């Protein structure tokens, strides 16, 4: 029913049970979805990755969730990973409308239903996936509970850039340069263009090196900075979401205490008013709270599992 897609199991240092398929959206975009089934399943976790990410990056998280008898499904969003890309160069993160990501997640849900993946269904959304996931929870009811990691409910901007970033990206989105790299963004992957010391992703040198190895071995997974169009659409979506009440879905949100990529004020504001919502500060922590050394990641995944299963009991 679904065509087999490439899945890079050699990136894992264990016997990886993952596989992947191609899924076509109603607007004709080819997405890649990866599945890690649990031998005995208590449900399925839908992983919604962040911008620049790809399915294999979450293989270790999937393994840990499998150990807790939860199956896992992840996606390469349009414009990244092995999914169809857009813009004048494959290295720019570009999307025409942020709402297009809802078409992608609808395709995930349709696939999961067709494949009869075990219920209850849970959502685990990181960074950009956090904005996509929040919008989904406001319009669909399939998920019993949600976990967020550094959700992009706002984008961290330097004080001198805040007044001009949205107007500039809005203006550029109306020109032929809309799919160019936004000003001051990097043209290559973060792990190639930055040193580990004081990086904004992780405190784990092991995980930092793993990310580099993935992208060195499979350059097709690489992605650079966002386009002007993506930036304008993302800022607009974050502003729109901030005006809406939180959904009545049990929520556990992980936030690094040294977060410097997304807007932490927006996260605190959101979680303060979220019914059945808990904000879990990760100390010390950066943006990738689930890409840390095992003593951190294993514990956080265990907390997420407890959260998921208690909400469906």
Domains, the chain, in order of start with CATH, read 9-311 (3.40.50.1820)
Query: What is d(CA 295, CA 154) in angstroms, rounded to the nearest whole number?
Result: 29
Position 159 pLDDT exceeds 90: no
Position 171 pLDDT exceeds 70: yes
Query: What is d(CA 32, CA 23) in angstroms, rounded to the nearest whole number?
Result: 6
Per-residue pLDDT of 77-93, as tens digits, reads 999 999 999 988 999 99
Strand pairing category for 30-36 and 71-76: antiparallel
For the chain, give the mean pLDDT: 96
Residue 180: how many other CB atoms lie within 10 Å: 18
Helix, strand or coil, per DSSP, at residue 21: strand
Per the omega criterion (within 30 degrees of 0), is the bond before 120 cis?
yes
Query: What is d(CA 105, CA 95) in angstroms, rounded to the nearest whole number?
Result: 15
Strands (E), 25-129: 30-36, 44-48, 71-76, 121-126
Phi, psi for residue 65 in degrees, rounded to 5: -65, -40
Per-residue pLDDT of 38-92, as tens digits, reads 999 999 999 999 999 999 999 999 999 999 999 999 999 999 999 999 988 999 9
* 54 Cβ neighbours under 8 A, 6+ residues apart: 76, 80, 81, 82, 214, 221
Angle of CA points 173, 220, 97, to nearest 5°: 25
* 116 Cβ neighbours under 8 A, 6+ residues apart: none
Per-residue pLDDT of 191-230, as tens digits, reads 999 999 989 999 999 999 999 999 999 999 999 999 999 9
């Amino acid at each position: 029913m679904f065509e087999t897609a490439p899945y890079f199991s050699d990136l894992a240092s264990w016997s990886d049970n993952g596989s992947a398929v191609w899924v076509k959206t109603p607007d004709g975009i080819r997405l890649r979805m990866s599945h890690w089934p649990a031998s005995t399943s208590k449900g399925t976790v839908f992983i919604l990755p962040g911008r620049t990410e790809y399915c294999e990056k979450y293989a270790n998280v999937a393994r840990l969730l499998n150990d807790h008898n939860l199956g896992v499904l992840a996606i390469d969003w349009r414009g990244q990973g092995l999914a169809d890309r857009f813009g004048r160069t494959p290295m720019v993160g570009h999307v025409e409308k942020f709402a297009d990501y809802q078409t992608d997640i609808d395709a995930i849900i349709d696939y999961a239903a067709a494949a009869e993946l075990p219920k209850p269904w849970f959502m685990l959304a990181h960074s950009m996936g956090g904005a996509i996931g929040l919008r989904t929870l406001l319009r669909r009811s399939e998920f019993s509970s949600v976990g967020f990691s550094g959700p992009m409910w706002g984008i961290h901007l330097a004080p001198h850039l805040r007044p001009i970033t949205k107007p500039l990206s809005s203006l550029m989105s109306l020109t032929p340069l809309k799919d160019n790299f936004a000003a001051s963004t990097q043209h290559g992957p973060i792990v190639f263009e930055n040193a580990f010391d004081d990086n904004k992703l992780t405190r784990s040198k092991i995980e930092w090196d793993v990310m580099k190895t993935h992208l060195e071995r499979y350059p097709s997974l690489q992605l650079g900075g966002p386009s002007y169009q993506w930036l304008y659409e993302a800022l607009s979506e974050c502003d729109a979401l901030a005006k809406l009440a939180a959904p009545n879905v049990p929520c556990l949100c992980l936030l690094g205490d040294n977060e410097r990529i997304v807007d932490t004020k927006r996260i605190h504001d959101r979680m303060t008013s979220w019914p059945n919502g808990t904000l879990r500060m990760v100390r010390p922590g950066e943006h990738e709270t689930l890409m840390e050394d095992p003593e951190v990641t294993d514990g956080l995944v265990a907390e997420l599992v407890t959260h998921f299963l208690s909400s469906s009991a």
